[in-house]
């Protein structure tokens, strides 16, 4: 499979992943928090803003999914940079501040998507 096609696939996975988590935060805040063993932050404004951000980031993957070569900058910013640092933050929060085990799931998924995007972006 060509690198461009692979980037489309990774963008599609990121599209679904970010959209699903964002919608989960917006539409089922209490259930989502309980599923991952964390309290709902107060004020809920923080959850709402995070949910909106993730929905927008997810929707933003629509264009790179269709034309990854033209939208490489988006893939760089929201793949290796955002998801890579997101994975780092989840790991730090778990190990340094006693965050729940579920944070390692987010670290693994964000980290995997960041690494896959990075590898494909670095291919010629």
Q: Is the pLDDT confidence value at 1 over 80? A: no
- pLDDT tens for 13-32 read 999 999 999 999 999 999 99
Q: What is the mean pLDDT of residues 86-108?
A: 96
pLDDT at residue number 3: 83
Rounded CA separation 102/124 (Å): 36
Contact between 94 and 104 (Cβ < 8 Å): yes
The reported pTM is: 0.92
Reference 115, options 86, 79, 64; nearest CA is 79
């Amino acid at each position: 499979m060509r690198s461009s096609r692979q980037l489309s696939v990774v963008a599609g996975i990121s599209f679904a992943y970010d959209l699903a988590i964002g919608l989960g935060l917006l539409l089922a805040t209490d259930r989502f928090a309980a599923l991952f063993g964390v309290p709902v932050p107060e004020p809920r404004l923080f959850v709402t803003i995070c949910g909106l951000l993730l929905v927008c980031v997810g929707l933003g993957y629509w264009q790179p999914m269709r034309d990854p070569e033209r939208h490489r900058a988006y893939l760089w910013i929201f793949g290796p940079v955002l998801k890579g640092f997101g994975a780092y933050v989840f790991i730090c929060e778990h190990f340094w501040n006693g965050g729940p085990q579920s944070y390692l799931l987010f670290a693994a998924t964000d980290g995997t998507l960041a690494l896959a995007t990075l590898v494909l972006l670095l291919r010629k």
